[in-house]
Amino acid sequence: MRDSGGDQRREDVLAHQIETRDEAFTPYRLPFPIDAMPEIVLENIAGDDERMWVPQTEHVSMRPLCLSVSGGYWVNLLRVRRSGILTRHRHPGPVHAFVLKGRWRYLEHSWVAEEGSYAFEAPGETHTLIVPEDVAEMITLFHVTGALIYCDPDGRQTGYDDVFTKIDMCRRHFESIGLGGDYVKQFIR
Ligand code: FE
């Protein structure tokens, strides 16, 4: 005798699986919050479009990715060439670093950030970044909250950078190469 109840159950299971799968692949249908800001999507960020690199010193450049005026942080690529040094500074906020290319270290720590490494730097950290002589180029993604407070070896403040000085720096650069100062706005959230 045919088990019609069993057939029905198998059909129900199959229908449920199809429904579940279809729902899993269905995009969210509702609008995003009206106050949410648009995403930033940048292609080939470590590529060779030199115009995107904002010079800081002769051997140090930054490429802006996200400049958050509402969050008080910025995400950028830092590129250092020819055994450059980044001036000693204190961080009142956290830093996340991901090394894309090359290698660097801090004068204040024994560890070395190698290509592929991630580092978290806690608030209160004061350090001086140097790129060893055998590294022709290093590129690291830094997510910096707050500021870099530049100081002498005894902690006396000599200057600072925050998201606003970074924006100014980018704006001047884009202006100077003919892209216009407003080019920086695409990175600001
Ligand atoms: Fe730092």
Is 4 within a domain? no
Distance 188 CA to ligand 1 centre (A): 21
Lowest mean pLDDT of 6-15, 63-72, 137-146, name the range.
Answer: 6-15
Report the number of distinct structural domains present in the chain.
Answer: 1
Any idea what the CATH number is for the domain that residue 116 is in? 2.60.120.10
Per the rule left: phi > 0, alpha: psi between -120 and 50, beta: everything else, 159 is: left
Is 37 within a domain? no
Is 20 within a domain? no
pLDDT tens across 29-65, in order?
999 999 999 999 999 998 889 999 999 988 899 999 9
pTM for the whole structure: 0.86
Is 42 within a domain? no
pLDDT at res. 86: 86
Is 172 within a domain? yes
Is 67 within a domain? yes
Cβ within 8 Å of residue 74, ≥6 positions away: 64, 66, 67, 68, 143, 144, 163, 166
Distance 90 CA to ligand 1 centre (A): 7
Is 179 within a domain? yes
More confident residue, 27 or 15: 27
Is 38 within a domain? no
Distance 4 CA to ligand 1 centre (A): 70
Distance 38 CA to ligand 1 centre (A): 28
- The whole domain housing 77 covers 50-187
pLDDT tens across 125-182, in order?
999 999 999 999 999 999 999 999 999 999 999 999 999 999 999 999 999 999 999 9
Distance 33 CA to ligand 1 centre (A): 34
Distance 1 CA to ligand 1 centre (A): 77
